[in-house]
């Protein structure tokens, strides 16, 4: 229930302030009702009037700007200052000048964001492929409309589209443009609304026009036979995946993969990138390459620089002497935005309703829209011709007796009676009489009248032709097809984005991406990991640790080694040494739980290293049991990062021991908190195939006693501690009061 609190009536203070009824009322309202009343109108406005393109290919901001430029005669006139256009556009677009100018920048040829720009530009308009290259202020740049805009505004003044008042009702603006080709598919359009978004990739204009014509002639036309694939203004190479393209064409959703164009100069061992994917920037690519170099993933690259200039985009990458440019590029494609994906989401407003459509449905909607535009244009022309014919028919009647017309005008005493008298005298209507009355005296001769009425037969033929066209949709379609052919011939251009195929992609092993060099791996008790190269370790071997922390594992291996981190929650996280950045002994290193995304409260129990998942693991539990599991049980065909049920949860895990691969005795020492120890050969523990096996009892414990330590011993140390050796398990072991505790665990 809503709760209301009526305000107290203010006391008289001598002022004349009136008491406002209901002021200060506090009401309780459901949040859903508040959202519906206050947020939903905004959300709908963003969807319908801002973020999503309509079937003519434009958002309202684009349309208002271009129409303003059209009304400023910038389609045929000369260049004007951008600031002038921005100021005029404010009559239609009630936003700040910055937002309007940014819209203009994206539509301009200089920015290179569109396959077919709509604004001819002079000055610095930045670049779509650069994040940091700023465009000049509007007072320094100049613009006019590109010739292709003739196709946007053709016959716009012939009632081809609806017009609505602007925001202050001082002028009219078009709801849509009567575009003669499907601009919605020719230029890229991206928008983010509330709860939905749109991302339309660009296609080649010639291919789009050919496809539109083919679909008009045959609704079952195979679209992919004429519409080869997206064509991005930045060029590059698109991976031709026919199945994915068919999905995009049919559903309006999917993604395409684009990679950069590159050349290699052998003389200076330099890779030059001259075209990049539309969805990235030069700066994003360079940042990622530099990051990979710092992580040691691109040791073949010695330097990278941006050489973009007046000649266009260029990224130079210097390679080291022995680097294979082909393999380096394959690595760059996999690890950097030099190869990137463009996600398609053809969400378009049709009749004010957002709709995700495939290419065929988009072309059908555009064709229906264009047919209505042509029909309205024909009606407009028909009416004009009928009006003119009507006037000429009245003029013909004057031809019968010019002298009578002159006499009627001369003998009429009042000017207001001229038109009525002509109507009576010649049997014509008011419009015809008004037209005759306005003819100049010098034109009231037989030659002028014959010359004017000579058009009558031609007008009658044209009217009959237009009426015939209006009755037959097929003839309207022929007009649309002829306009599409004309547009393709006049403005079509070769594809900028070429294709590459599956046969062009080299299959390489993943290991080739990982440099192979010696490293020292360290793991602390609290879970800090360090990867240190030998040279750095020789310079400083003193390890920095948190207070009360200690190193529990040290392994000398290589950068390609695979690592398994067993945790306190019976899980194992798989990664590689190469995934960790190199560090120094004086640094804290990477915190493994954070690096690998452990669950809350989950800690590292042990780290195991392997190259081929050969050998076995021994799991020592606090209840005295030991489980032997092959390392191959943790190998997976897929690139899984986490495995559950890595070991048994019946008793706390004390230690994980990696047995030597050679067929030699493996001496296992276990010690309990009851001051007893047992030494046995690992061969006494039978191998189990399941990871979470409970194992076998290896050490017999008294009530409330637990195993507290386990480790592998070398032959010499095992010989020294032979008094604890047993030949069968389980065993209680011997008293071990003087046996020193382990200081560091070894994985070797």
pLDDT band at 109 (very low <50, low <70, confident <90, very high): very high
What is the rounded radius of gyration, in angstroms, for the C-alpha atoms of the chain? 41
Which H or E run contains 647?
none
Is the pLDDT at 502 greater than 50? The verdict is: yes
User: pLDDT tens across 228-262, in order?
Assistant: 999 999 999 999 999 999 999 999 999 999 999 99
CA distance 555 to 557: 6
Report if residue 642 sits inside a domain: yes
pLDDT band at 1 (very low <50, low <70, confident <90, very high): very low
Give the CATH number, domain containing residue 523. Answer: 2.120.10.90
One domain for residues 319 and 436: no
Q: Which residues of 114-141 are buried (b: 16+ CB within 10 A; e: fewer)?
A: bbbbbbbbbbbbbbbbbeebebeebeeb
CA distance 393 to 431: 11
One domain for residues 554 and 672: yes
Retrieve residue 498's tokens: 């070429």
Report if residue 209 sits inside a domain: no
> 273, 264, 286: which is closest to 315 by C-alpha?
273
One domain for residues 370 and 481: yes
Per-residue confidence (pLDDT) for residue 18, from 0 to 100: 53
The DSSP code for 694 is -
Per-residue confidence (pLDDT) for residue 478, from 0 to 100: 96
Per-residue confidence (pLDDT) for residue 60, from 0 to 100: 93
Residues 6+ apart with CB under 8 A from 334: 513
Angle at 115 between CA 114 and CA 121, to 5 degrees: 55
One domain for residues 666 and 591: yes
Residues 6+ apart with CB under 8 A from 618: 626, 627, 628, 656, 657, 658, 659, 668, 682, 685, 710
Last residue of a domain, one of 143, 178, 213: 178
Is the pLDDT at 744 greater than 60? The verdict is: no
Last residue of a domain, one of 322, 337, 352: 337
Per-residue confidence (pLDDT) for residue 19, from 0 to 100: 57
| Max Cα–Cα distance, the chain, nearest Å | 148
Report if residue 239 sits inside a domain: no
Is the pLDDT at 186 greater than 80? The verdict is: yes
Last residue of a domain, one of 118, 153, 178: 178
Per-residue confidence (pLDDT) for residue 448, from 0 to 100: 77
Report if residue 191 sits inside a domain: no
Contacts 24+ apart (CB under 8 A), 499-502: 499/228, 499/229, 499/237, 499/238, 499/239, 499/240, 500/237, 500/238, 500/239, 500/240, 500/259, 501/239, 501/240, 502/239, 502/241
One domain for residues 382 and 303: no
Per-residue confidence (pLDDT) for residue 2, from 0 to 100: 43
User: pLDDT tens across 141-161, in order?
Assistant: 999 999 999 999 999 999 999
Report if residue 590 sits inside a domain: yes
Report if residue 207 sits inside a domain: no
Retrieve residue 371's tokens: 């047919």
133: left (phi over 0), alpha (psi -120 to 50) or beta: beta
One domain for residues 82 and 161: yes
pTM for this predicted structure: 0.69
Query: Is the separation of the CB atoms in 177 and 152 below 8 Å?
Result: yes
Number of domains in the chain: 4
One domain for residues 678 and 557: yes
**Structure-token match 């680097």, residue found:** 323
Quote the domain boundaries for residue 589. 513-746
Retrieve residue 724's tokens: 């604890």
One domain for residues 376 and 458: yes
Per-residue confidence (pLDDT) for residue 743, from 0 to 100: 42
CA distance 225 to 247: 14
Q: Can you tell me the mean pLDDT for 174-189?
A: 95
Q: Can you tell me the mean pLDDT for 67-93?
A: 94
Per-residue confidence (pLDDT) for residue 682, from 0 to 100: 87
One domain for residues 689 and 645: yes
Per-residue confidence (pLDDT) for residue 4, from 0 to 100: 45
Report if residue 254 sits inside a domain: no
Per-residue confidence (pLDDT) for residue 20, from 0 to 100: 64
One domain for residues 517 and 481: no
Is the pLDDT at 371 greater than 50? The verdict is: yes
Looking at the annotation, which residues are catalytic?
Answer: 140
Instruction: Choose from 29-33, 398-402, 616-620 the range with maximum mean pLDDT.
Output: 616-620
Give the CATH number, domain containing residue 398. Answer: 1.10.268.10
ω before 229 within 30° of 0 (cis)? no
One domain for residues 613 and 675: yes
Give the CATH number, domain containing residue 285. Answer: 3.30.1360.40
Q: How high does pLDDT run on average in the chain?
A: 87
User: pLDDT tens across 675-688, in order?
Assistant: 888 988 888 888 88
Per-residue confidence (pLDDT) for residue 665, from 0 to 100: 79
One domain for residues 325 and 390: no
> 530, 568, 565, 528: which is closest to 546 by C-alpha?
528
Give the CATH number, domain containing residue 112. Answer: 3.90.199.10
CA distance 179 to 152: 4
Is the pLDDT at 103 greater than 70? The verdict is: yes
Query: Is the separation of the CB atoms in 426 and 496 below 8 Å?
Result: no
pLDDT band at 536 (very low <50, low <70, confident <90, very high): confident
Report if residue 63 sits inside a domain: yes
Contacts 24+ apart (CB under 8 A), 213-218: 213/481, 213/484, 213/485, 215/360, 215/363, 215/364, 215/367, 216/367, 216/477, 216/480, 216/481, 217/481
Q: What are phi and psi of 314, to 5 degrees?
A: -160, 125
User: pLDDT tens across 218-228, in order?
Assistant: 999 999 999 99
Is the pLDDT at 705 greater than 50? The verdict is: yes
Per-residue confidence (pLDDT) for residue 307, from 0 to 100: 93
């Amino acid at each position: 229930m809503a709760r209301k609190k009526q305000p107290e009536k203010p006391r008289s203070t001598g002022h004349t302030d009136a008491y406002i009824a209901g002021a200060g009322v506090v009401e309780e309202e459901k949040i859903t009702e508040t959202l519906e009343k206050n947020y939903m109108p905004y959300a709908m406005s963003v969807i319908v009037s801002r973020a999503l393109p309509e079937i003519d290919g434009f958002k309202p901001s684009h349309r208002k700007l271009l129409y303003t430029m059209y009304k400023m005669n910038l389609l045929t006139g000369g260049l004007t200052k951008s600031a002038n256009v921005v100021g005029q556009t404010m009559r239609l677009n009630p936003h700040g000048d910055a937002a309007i100018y940014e819209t203009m920048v994206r539509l301009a040829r200089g920015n290179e964001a569109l396959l077919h720009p709509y604004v001819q530009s002079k000055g610095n308009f930045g670049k779509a492929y650069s994040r940091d290259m700023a465009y000049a202020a509007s007072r320094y740049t100049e613009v006019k409309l590109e010739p292709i805009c003739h196709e946007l505004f053709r016959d716009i003044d012939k009632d081809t589209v609806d017009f609505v008042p602007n925001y202050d009702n001082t002028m009219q603006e078009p709801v849509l443009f009567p575009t003669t080709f499907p601009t919605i598919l020719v230029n890229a359009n991206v928008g983010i609304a509330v709860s939905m978004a749109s991302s339309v990739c660009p296609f080649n204009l010639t291919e789009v026009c050919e496809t539109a014509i083919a679909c008009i002639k045959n609704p079952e036309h195979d679209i992919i036979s004429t519409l080869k694939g997206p064509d991005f203004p930045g060029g590059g190479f698109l991976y031709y995946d026919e199945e994915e393209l068919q999905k995009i064409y049919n559903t309006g959703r999917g993604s395409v993969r684009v990679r950069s164009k590159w050349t290699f100069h052998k003389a200076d061992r330099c890779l030059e990138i001259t075209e990049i994917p539309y969805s990235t920037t030069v700066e994003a690519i360079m940042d990622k390459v530099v990051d990979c170099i710092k992580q040691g993933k691109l040791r073949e690259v010695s330097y990278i620089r941006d050489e973009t200039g007046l000649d266009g985009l260029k990224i130079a990458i210097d390679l080291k002497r022995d680097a294979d440019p082909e393999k380096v590029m394959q690595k760059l494609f996999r690890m950097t935005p030099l190869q990137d994906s463009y996600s398609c989401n053809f969400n378009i407003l049709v009749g004010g309703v957002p709709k995700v459509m495939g290419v065929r449905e988009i072309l059908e909607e555009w064709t229906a829209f264009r047919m209505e535009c042509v029909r309205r244009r024909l009606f407009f022309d028909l009416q004009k011709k009928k009006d003119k014919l009507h006037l000429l028919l009245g003029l013909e009647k004057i031809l019968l007796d010019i002298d009578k017309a002159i006499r009627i005008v001369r003998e009429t005493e009042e000017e207001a009676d001229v038109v009525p008298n002509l109507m009576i005298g010649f049997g014509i209507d008011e419009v015809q009489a008004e037209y005759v009355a306005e003819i100049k005296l010098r034109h009231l001769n037989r030659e002028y009248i014959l010359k004017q009425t000579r058009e009558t037969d031609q007008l009658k033929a044209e009217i009959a032709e237009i009426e015939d066209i209006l009755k037959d949709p097929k003839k309207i379609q022929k007009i649309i097809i002829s306009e599409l052919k004309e547009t393709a011939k006049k403005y079509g251009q070769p594809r900028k984005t070429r294709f590459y195929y599956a046969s062009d992609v080299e299959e390489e092993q993943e290991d080739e991406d990982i440099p192979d060099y010696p490293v020292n791996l360290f793991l602390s008790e609290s879970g800090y990991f360090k990867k240190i190269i030998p040279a750095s370790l020789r310079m400083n071997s003193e390890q920095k640790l948190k207070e009360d922390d200690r190193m529990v594992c040290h392994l000398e291996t290589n950068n390609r080694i695979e690592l398994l981190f067993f945790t306190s929650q019976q899980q194992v996280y798989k990664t590689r040494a190469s995934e960790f950045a190199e560090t120094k002994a004086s640094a804290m290193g990477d915190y493994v739980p954070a690096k690998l995304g452990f669950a809350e409260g989950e800690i590292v129990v042990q780290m195991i290293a392997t190259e081929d998942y050969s050998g076995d693991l021994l799991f020592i539990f606090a209840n005295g049991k030991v489980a032997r599991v092959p390392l191959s049980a943790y190998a997976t065909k897929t690139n899984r990062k986490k495995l559950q049920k890595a070991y048994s949860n019946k008793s706390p895990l004390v230690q994980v021991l990696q047995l030597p691969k050679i067929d030699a005795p493996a001496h296992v020492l276990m010690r309990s908190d009851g001051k007893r120890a047992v030494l046995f050969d690992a061969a006494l523990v039978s191998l189990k195939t399941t990871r979470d096996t409970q194992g076998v009892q290896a050490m017999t414990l008294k009530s409330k006693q637990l195993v507290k330590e386990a480790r592998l011993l070398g032959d010499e140390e095992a010989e020294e501690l032979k008094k604890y050796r047993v030949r069968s398990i389980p065993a209680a072991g011997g008293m071990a009061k003087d046996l020193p505790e382990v200081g560091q665990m070894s994985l070797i």
